[in-house]
Amino acid sequence: MNKAELIEAVADKLEVSKAEAGRTVETVIGTIIEGTVNDGEATIPGLGKLKVVDTAARSGVSKIGGVEKAWTKDAGHTIKLRLSTAGKKLV
């Protein structure tokens, strides 16, 4: 399901316009991400836990067209989802 399909499904279930459903979806997603970033984690009941994790610096070599090119990627942060037991049962 992509964002447009999610907005359409919310609009149908709540019997509101797609514009209003879009604002609702944006607000919910933004609030979850903001909480995750500010607190380091956020729990979504019935789905799982979002957590900010550190990523290590990496380097490597790619071979494009027979030419080797070295690359590096700095250390950073990402958000990971750990499914709850209820969330795992949905899959």
What digits encode the pLDDT tens for the residues 30-71? 999 999 999 999 999 988 999 999 999 999 998 888 888 898
Q: Which tokens is 20 given?
A: 């209003």
28-43 core/surface letters (b: 16 or more CB in 10 A; e: else):
eeeeeeeebeeeeebe
Q: Are 55 and 74 in contact (CB under 8 A)?
A: no
User: Is residue 88 predicted with pLDDT exceeding 90?
Assistant: no
pTM, two decimal places:
0.71
Residue 34: the pLDDT is 92
Average pLDDT for the chain: 92
Question: Could you tell me if 25 and 10 are in contact, meaning their C-beta atoms sit under 8 angstroms apart?
Answer: yes
For residues 24 and 3, give the distance between their C-alpha atoms in angstroms, rounded to a whole number.
12
